[in-house]
């Protein structure tokens, strides 16, 4: 009889990203921004009046102003500034694959055995490379990356005197092959791998600065807060030197970095974020609903059934993601 899914099973997140702060400056004429001192980007209020555009509006309301567009938050580069700077840090924590909580000693023993085997296949190297790739391609910038004139990513590792510099558009959002042999990328992947391969007390930290040339006074896109039951848009902000600074949620940053799952068997040609069911809310679809979801593959793996390397990569990436994965109580 095989091992069943424990009632209590959870894993700690191993990539701890901070919230990201958003600043404004000037690019100048060089390959990198000339600005040395950056000013915070503040959230402003917009009192707009716009037309109705939603499907199903009755004829008598189609000429009325749209209340959704009024009294909403907005964010722009200040007048005369053309460059956005986004700053965050990421801590990479070791002891990957060891459950934080589990009520089945047999499951713990088996998963530890499987993780030892996985390490021998250099599986963590594959994952570390993909996490690094999503930093250097600027995926975490989301809409702020679209149609920018220039995007440069600067990563500071354990050698603060020698930052790693990348041109984000040299790296693809749809695969992990374009410029995959870049030496600086390999260095960053090595730093992340070192953190993941460490023990329970080991970690590495990187700091990321992204510079995006958008154009003078252009729109920027902080995270939007959940605002249940309200019409207006509220943008995320954090205090900096007594002022409120536009920012991006750490969850949004982390979601971009773990968008490495190209192993699902679907019709899409781009990676999705690592999730137990491959859920992508923007598309209203779960790409791993049955047979290739986390629970099915994880139980096959610990019960010594055949599991291909791509599926093992996906399983361990979920361990790194972290979460509560226990089964139902009988």
Please indicate, yes or no, if residue 55 is contained in any of the structural domains.
no
> Would residue 269 count as lying in a domain?
yes
What is the pLDDT averaged over residues 107-130? Answer: 96
Q: How confident is the model at residue 12 (pLDDT cuts 50, 70, 90)?
A: very high
Phi, psi angles (nearest 5°) of residue 109:
-60, -45
Q: Is 1 contained in some domain?
A: no
Domain span including residue 96: 9-50+63-324
Q: Is the pLDDT of residue 220 over 80?
A: yes
Q: Answer whether residue 330 shows pLDDT above 70.
A: no
Q: Examine residue 2 and state whether it is found in any structural domain, yes or no.
A: no
pLDDT digits (tens, 9 = 90+) for 26-38: 998 888 888 888 9
Whether 121 and 175 have beta carbons less than 8 Å apart is answered as no
* Domains held by the chain: number: 1
Cα angle for residues 147, 148, 153 (degrees, 5° grid):
130
In a domain, residue 242? The reply is yes
For residue 267, what pLDDT is reported? 60
Residue 85 in any domain: the answer is: yes
Q: Is the pTM of this model over 0.85?
A: yes
- Residue 69, pLDDT above cutoff 90: no
Q: Whose CA is closest to 165, among 177, 175, 178, 151?
A: 151
pLDDT greater than 90 at residue 40: yes
Assess if residue 329 is contained within a domain.
no
CA neighbor of 129 nearest in space, from 178, 183, 188:
188
- Kindly report, residue by residue over 151-183, the tens digit of the pLDDT: 999 999 987 778 999 999 999 999 999 999 999
Q: Alpha-carbon torsion 75, 136, 81, 39, what sign?
A: positive
Residues 232, 242 contacting (CB under 8 angstroms):
no
Q: Is residue 56 part of a domain?
A: no
Instruction: Give the whole-angstrom CA distance, residue 210 versus residue 85.
Output: 5
Angle at 106 (CA atoms; ends 104, 112), nearest 5 degrees: 105
pLDDT (average), residues 261-265: 92
pLDDT greater at residue 54 or residue 276? 276
Query: How high is the pLDDT of residue 236?
Result: 96
- Residues near 268 by beta carbon (within 8 Å), at least 6 away in sequence: 287
What mean pLDDT, rounded, does the chain reach? Answer: 92
């Amino acid at each position: 009889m095989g091992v069943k899914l424990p009632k209590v099973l959870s894993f700690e997140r191993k990539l701890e990203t901070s919230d990201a702060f958003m600043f404004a400056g000037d690019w100048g004429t060089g390959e990198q921004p000339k600005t040395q001192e950056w000013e915070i980007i503040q959230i402003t209020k917009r009192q707009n009046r716009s037309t109705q555009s939603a499907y199903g509006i009755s004829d008598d309301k189609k000429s009325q102003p749209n209340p959704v567009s009024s009294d909403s938050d907005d964010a722009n580069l200040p007048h005369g500034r053309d460059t956005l700077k986004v700053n965050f840090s990421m801590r990479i924590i070791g002891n990957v694959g060891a459950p934080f909580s589990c009520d089945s000693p047999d499951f713990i023993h088996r998963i530890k055995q499987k993780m030892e085997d996985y390490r021998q296949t250099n599986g963590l190297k594959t994952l570390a490379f993909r996490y690094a790739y999503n930093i250097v391609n600027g995926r975490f910038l989301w809409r702020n990356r679209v149609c920018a004139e220039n995007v440069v990513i600067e990563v500071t590792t354990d050698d603060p005197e020698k930052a790693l510099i990348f041109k984000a558009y040299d790296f693809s959002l749809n695969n992990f092959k374009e410029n995959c042999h870049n030496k600086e990328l390999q260095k960053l992947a090595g730093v992340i791998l070192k953190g993941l391969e460490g023990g329970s007390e080991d970690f590495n930290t990187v700091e990321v600065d992204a510079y995006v040339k958008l154009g003078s006074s252009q729109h920027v896109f902080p995270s939007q807060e959940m605002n249940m039951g309200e019409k207006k848009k509220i943008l995320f902000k954090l205090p900096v030197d007594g002022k409120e600074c536009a920012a991006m949620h750490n969850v949004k940053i982390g979601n971009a970095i773990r968008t490495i799952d190209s192993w699902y068997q679907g019709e899409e040609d781009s990676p999705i974020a690592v999730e137990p069911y491959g859920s992508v809310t923007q598309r209203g679809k779960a790409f791993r609903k049955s047979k290739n979801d986390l629970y099915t593959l994880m139980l096959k793996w610990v019960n010594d059934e055949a599991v291909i390397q791509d599926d093992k990569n996906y399983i361990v990436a979920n361990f790194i993601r972290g979460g509560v994965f226990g089964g139902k109580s009988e």
